Amino acid sequence: MSAIATLEWVWWFNHHRLLEPLGYVPPVEYEEAFYRGQETQSIVPALTN
């Protein structure tokens, strides 16, 4: 298998393959949703004495 064919397969897998453990969404969409959730969380500083 050529390197280009491998890269094409990886791209297809990450953008089109629906994975059950991820809620039947492609890995790229799952990762984007994860990072969007991280951006909306505010960081609360720890209180120190």
Q: Is residue 28 part of a domain?
A: yes
Q: Is residue 49 part of a domain?
A: no
Domain extent for 18? 3-44
Higher pLDDT, 19 or 41: 19
Q: By three-state DSSP, how is residue 2 classified? A: coil
Q: Is residue 14 part of a domain?
A: yes
Q: Is residue 38 part of a domain?
A: yes
Asked if residues 19 and 27 have their Cβ atoms less than 8 Å apart, the reply is yes
CA dist., res. 14 & res. 20, Å (int) = 13
Entry pTM: 0.66
State pLDDT tens for residues 28-40: 999 999 998 887 7
7 CB contacts (<8 Å, ≥6 apart)? none
State pLDDT tens for residues 5-26: 999 999 999 999 999 999 999 9
Our count of domains for the chain comes to: 1
- Which residue do the tokens 């959730």 mark? 37
